[in-house]
Amino acid sequence: MSQPTQYQNWRVETDADQITWLYLDRAGRSTNSISYAVLDELEHILNHLPAARALIITSAKSNGFIAGADIETFTKLNNPAEVASFINKGQSVFKQLAGLSIPTIALIKGFCLGGGLELALSCRYRIAEDSQRTKLGLPEVLLGLHPGWGGSVRLPLLIGGLQAFDLILSGRTVSAKAAAKMGFVDAAVPERHFMQAARYYALKAPVPHKANYLQQITNHALVRPLLAKQMRSQLRQKVSPEHYPAPYAVLDLWEQHGVGDMALALEAESLARIALTDTAKNLIRVFFLQDRLKGLSKGVDFKAKHVHVIGAGTMGGDIAAWCALRGLNVTLQDREPKFIAPAIKRAADLYTKKLKEPRLIQSALDRLMPDLTGTGIHKADVIIEAIYEDLAAKQAVFKNIEAACKADAILATNTSSIPLDEINKALQDPSRLVGIHFFNPVAKMQLVEVVQGQITQQDVINKAIAFVRQIDRLPLPVKSSPGFLVNRVLMPYLMEAMIMLEEGISADAIDQAAVQFGMPMGPIELADTVGLDVCLAVAKNLSKYFGGTVPIRLEHMVKDKALGRKTGQGFYQYKDGKPVRVKNEVGQSTSAEIIDRLILRMLNESVACLREQVVADSDLLDAGMVLGTGFAPFRGGPINYAKARGVENIINQLKQFTEKYGVRFKPDADWNNLK
């Protein structure tokens, strides 16, 4: 055995069977990702490889294999040449790896994503641990990028273009078993068989996996255009090429150049272009903002075992179901079984969709216990009140809770409109109450506002944040001012849309304009989806504090029980759950004004929130609006958008609108601080 060179990020060992083991162990990081240095060292290793029978690449980190290319590297590259150099470096090293004559094996435990999977795809074999935590995929498009180290060529080569682009275009990840079934993992085995499997591939060197005949055909020059057309039209239903160019670019490449060497070079070239787009920059920014929210619970030693939820309505029931899905024991309290039963059904449906395996579904359901008498209160670590919005009723609930709960239980309200400092008056220790405000639908909305009243203990806030992380949601600390952040900023946007409706602009034109801007759903459809009764209640509550008028039409519709999607009639009529749209083309300039009226009111309210310190800084505000409302992610959030467009420009536009439409557009004083 030769004396190995010392590397910063890699450990090289050769065992008695003459198998060389490469352990990736990024210096100073808890998670492996591929930086320039990692590539540089790998290149050196491959150039100085000892005579070995086989090469096995694996991770020395316990949390996973490789999370992808180092994203931070991307944020520091400013010009096309630098980006191209990073991408080309990876391509050339992976090409070298793929060209080795000895068997090469990627031994994968935990996540194997993006650049990590591309490295694995450059090996001859891939062995992955068959466990819940193993996830493989090419999620680059979620960051506005696409694979650049051969993923968009080697994956279709292995499993055919159809399945490969299903993964590449959606960014979704799959389990080891699913990957093995598709064909890009050679063996999905439990950890106890890891060594035997690795040795088998290293020493026996079986014939490598090849795409089957049908899969091969998908990569044929005559077939690719047909498939690409199909996939492109599906893609168009989800994202537009103007807003999200990356998936379209990578699909074009495959369509035109297939899976040969030429395609590899062009993949790198295309990514170098894509990586410097605003979309990529903003999506990467959002990614880091998410990381920041995730990190808020760092250092807090709190782990809930039992959650008690009071109120089994849509919110309470779904919060309870989500907590049980995330492994907590949950008691769900309401007055009568008829209120709880629908929540159990929704939970069962959610678990069936998410967990699939009957045993896992069963244990999630077993963890979710209906509770008519509140037996869960005295054992719960976290108690969440989610009853109807009524101060006296909520106060009564908390009085009861405080008398029966554990001394250190977290007492939380899911209120969206009642100030914490009024609810907590019912408590002997009002500093115990914190807001944990979920959004509907709970299972989809990642953001949770953690609301602090004027006297909420910091320790309680920290624990609430840790709890939100524990159930895999993203906590956003906000001050208990009316509407908190998300609803408050969203409401002017919805109200402006309704004002435009009353002016005679069609719902379709308004919604189209918003979608064109990049919102996931137009404001009118959103109002219908949330429920007009809910909208009205929030609007009334907020206008109490911030002025403004509640549209008369909204009041009438609620009175007439036209509540939106749930009743089949709102601003739209609903057929099979889908709005019936009356197409209404408006001119470019009208459309631009619609967008500005909608968005600028949102921006102005955002600035007001910053001035009032509803959130600590503009990054958190952007994170909240992107994750809580889907505010055009590729624009990086309201404040990021405002800054990119130019604060001066926005102030001017607001001033113009003030003259034209009234004082609701009056620029907030704090805009000057953003200049």
Partner 1 sequence: MSLIKSSYAKPIYIVDGLRSPMLKVKGKPGPFTASDLAVQVCRALLAKQNFTPEQIDEVVTGCVMPSADEANISRVIGLRVGCGKAVPAYTVQRNCASGLQALDNAAQDIASGRYDLVLAGGTEAMSHAPVIYNRRMVSWLVDLNTAKTLAAKAAVLAKFRPSYLAPIWGLIRGLTDPMVGLSMGQTAEIVAHRFHITRQQMDEFAYESHQRLARAFDLGYLQNEITPLYDTAGNYYLEDDGLRRDTSLQKLASLKPYFDKPFGEVTAGNSSQVTDGAAYLILASAEAVKRYKLPVLGRMVDTAWAALEPSEMGLGPAYVAARLLKQQHLKLDDIDYWEINEAFAAQVLGCIAAWQDADYCRKYLGLEGALGKLDLAKLNIDGGAVAIGHPVGASGARITLHLLNILKRKQAKRGIATLCIGGGQGGAVLLENVEGVE
Residues serving a catalytic function are 437
- The least distance separating partner 1 from the CB of residue 326, rounded to whole angstroms, comes to 16
Q: Which of 365, 423, 490, 642 binds partner 1 (CB under 8 A)?
A: 365
Residue placing its CB nearer to partner 1 in the complex, 241 or 327 = 327
- The least distance separating partner 1 from the CB of residue 367, rounded to whole angstroms, comes to 8
Q: Which three-class secondary structure state does DSSP give residue 512?
A: helix
End-to-end CA distance of the chain: 63
CA dist., res. 277 & res. 212, Å (int): 37
- The least distance separating partner 1 from the CB of residue 369, rounded to whole angstroms, comes to 5
Stretch touching partner 1 by CB under 8 A, among 261-269, 332-340, 462-470, 588-596: 332-340
Tokens coding 572: 């739209």
DSSP symbol at 375: G
Sheet holding 64-66, edge to edge: 64-66, 111-113, 135-137, 173-174
* Interface with partner 1, residue 75, by CB under 8 A: no
* Interface with partner 1, residue 363, by CB under 8 A: yes
Stretch touching partner 1 by CB under 8 A, among 239-247, 360-368, 472-480, 548-556: 360-368
- The least distance separating partner 1 from the CB of residue 110, rounded to whole angstroms, comes to 25
Q: Which of 32, 331, 415, 512 binds partner 1 (CB under 8 A)?
A: 331
- The least distance separating partner 1 from the CB of residue 341, rounded to whole angstroms, comes to 4
Question: Which residue has tokens 């519709």?
Answer: 557
* Interface with partner 1, residue 475, by CB under 8 A: no
Tokens coding 92: 């050339």
Which residue type, as a one-letter code, is found at position 20? T
Stretch touching partner 1 by CB under 8 A, among 74-82, 229-237, 361-369, 539-547: 361-369
- The least distance separating partner 1 from the CB of residue 340, rounded to whole angstroms, comes to 7
Stretch touching partner 1 by CB under 8 A, among 286-294, 329-337, 403-411, 427-435: 329-337
DSSP string, 330-370: EEEE-SSHHHHHHHHHHHHHHHHHHH-SHHHHHHHHHHEEE
Stretch touching partner 1 by CB under 8 A, among 21-29, 222-230, 343-351, 482-490: 343-351
* Interface with partner 1, residue 337, by CB under 8 A: yes
Residue placing its CB nearer to partner 1 in the complex, 303 or 556 = 303
- Say if residues 476 and 628 touch (Cβ distance below 8 Å): yes
* Interface with partner 1, residue 372, by CB under 8 A: yes
Q: Which three-class secondary structure state does DSSP give residue 55?
A: strand
* Interface with partner 1, residue 356, by CB under 8 A: no
- Per-residue exposure over 52-73, b if at least 16 CB sit within 10 Å of its own CB, e if not: bebbbbbbebeebbbbbbbbeb
* Interface with partner 1, residue 338, by CB under 8 A: yes
Residues within window 223-262 making contact with partner 1, judged by CB under 8 A: none
- The least distance separating partner 1 from the CB of residue 368, rounded to whole angstroms, comes to 9
Start-end of H helices in 237-390: 245-257, 261-274, 278-295, 314-325, 337-355, 358-367
DSSP symbol at 61: -
- Say if residues 482 and 547 touch (Cβ distance below 8 Å): no
Residue placing its CB nearer to partner 1 in the complex, 254 or 351 = 351
Q: Which of 29, 48, 378, 544 binds partner 1 (CB under 8 A)?
A: 378
- The least distance separating partner 1 from the CB of residue 591, rounded to whole angstroms, comes to 44
Residue placing its CB nearer to partner 1 in the complex, 313 or 548 = 313
- Contacts for 88 with CB less than 8 Å, ≥ 6 apart: 268
Residues within window 616-675 making contact with partner 1, judged by CB under 8 A: none
Q: Which three-class secondary structure state does DSSP give residue 15?
A: coil
Q: Which of 161, 245, 376, 483 binds partner 1 (CB under 8 A)?
A: 376
DSSP symbol at 665: G
Pairing of strands 173-174, 111-113: unpaired
Which residue type, as a one-letter code, is found at position 14? T
Stretch touching partner 1 by CB under 8 A, among 263-271, 336-344, 493-501, 633-641: 336-344
Q: How many CB atoms lie within 10 A of CB 183?
A: 18
Residue placing its CB nearer to partner 1 in the complex, 350 or 474 = 350
Pairing of strands 173-174, 135-137: antiparallel
* Interface with partner 1, residue 370, by CB under 8 A: yes
- The least distance separating partner 1 from the CB of residue 151, rounded to whole angstroms, comes to 40
Q: How many CA atoms lie within 13 A of 97 on its CB side?
A: 31
Q: Which of 379, 566, 581, 643 binds partner 1 (CB under 8 A)?
A: 379
- The least distance separating partner 1 from the CB of residue 576, rounded to whole angstroms, comes to 21
In terms of C-beta density within 10 A (0-12 exposed, 13-18 middle, 19 or more buried), how is residue 573 classed?
middle
* Interface with partner 1, residue 480, by CB under 8 A: no
* Interface with partner 1, residue 399, by CB under 8 A: no
* Interface with partner 1, residue 566, by CB under 8 A: no
Pick the closest to residue 348 from 367, 364, 333, 334 (CA basis).
364
Tokens coding 376: 């869960």
Q: Which of 366, 408, 472, 617 binds partner 1 (CB under 8 A)?
A: 366
* Interface with partner 1, residue 5, by CB under 8 A: no
* Interface with partner 1, residue 362, by CB under 8 A: yes
Q: In DSSP terms, which residues pair with 137 in a beta bridge?
A: 113, 173
Give the total of residues touching partner 1 (CB under 8 A).
24
Residue placing its CB nearer to partner 1 in the complex, 183 or 376 = 376
Which helix (H) or strand (E) segment holds residue 161: the answer is helix 161-170
Which residue type, as a one-letter code, is found at position 540? K
Stretch touching partner 1 by CB under 8 A, among 54-62, 89-97, 331-339, 460-468: 331-339
Residues that bind partner 1 in the complex, under the rule CB under 8 A: 329, 331, 337-338, 340-342, 344-345, 348-349, 362-363, 365-367, 369-372, 375-376, 378-379
